[in-house]
Structure 1
């Protein structure tokens, strides 16, 4: 990122457009969840919103992976999407359970892929 991009935020505009393009490729229930998560996270942004970019990228990646596996949104995020977003921002007791769930899912996915390559 150049100094000019940092000052003007043009790099963020490109990232936001990329996020939106990725989100429109998701199924409808995933798009609705993405909108809710995004709306819940935006008040926690710093002046530029740069602090949320890695979080939003991670959430979108989780949604893309889960949609590709054919999982329902409730299986991925649980019933409380707002609580999921709050846990992303401020941690708290729920954050550990979500992190554990993601870690377990990632470990299963890696194990599956390694099993497929080896077999």
Structure 2
């Protein structure tokens, strides 16, 4: 990224367009979840929002993997997307979501290894 891109924010525009291209491939319910995640995460950004790019990338990757495994959005994100976003950025209440994710991960691993449904 050169100085001009950093000042004008054109690098951010390119990154967000790449994210949107990835989102268009997802099923509708995942696209809707992405829009909600997108709106809830921006409030946690710094002046430029560059600090959020790795978080956006990780959240989108989570949606892509879940979609490929044909999971429902609620199974992955839970009922509280705003709380999910707060947990991603490390706000209060993150431990409860981490515990929930850990339990979900353990169930998925046990199902894959043990053939359980």
Band of TM-score, shorter chain: 0.7 to 0.9
Ranges in structure 2 where 5+ consecutive residues have no aligned partner: none
**Matches of residues 75-94 of structure 1 in structure 2 within 5 Å?**
75-93=75-93
Higher helix share: 1
Partner of 1:45: 45
The separation in 1 between residues aligned to 2:43 and 2:87, in whole angstroms, is: 14
Q: How many residues align?
A: 109
Greater relative contact order (CA < 8 Å, ≥ 6 in sequence)? 1
Q: TM-score, normalised by structure 2?
A: 0.79
The offset of 1:2, in angstroms, is: 1.9
What is the CA RMSD across the aligned residues, in angstroms?
Answer: 2.4
Cα distance change of structure 1 residues 38 and 73 upon mapping to structure 2, 3 Å threshold: same
Partner of 2:95: 96
Q: TM-score, normalised by structure 1?
A: 0.78
Ranges in structure 1 where 5+ consecutive residues have no aligned partner: 113-119
The separation in 1 between residues aligned to 2:102 and 2:58, in whole angstroms, is: 11
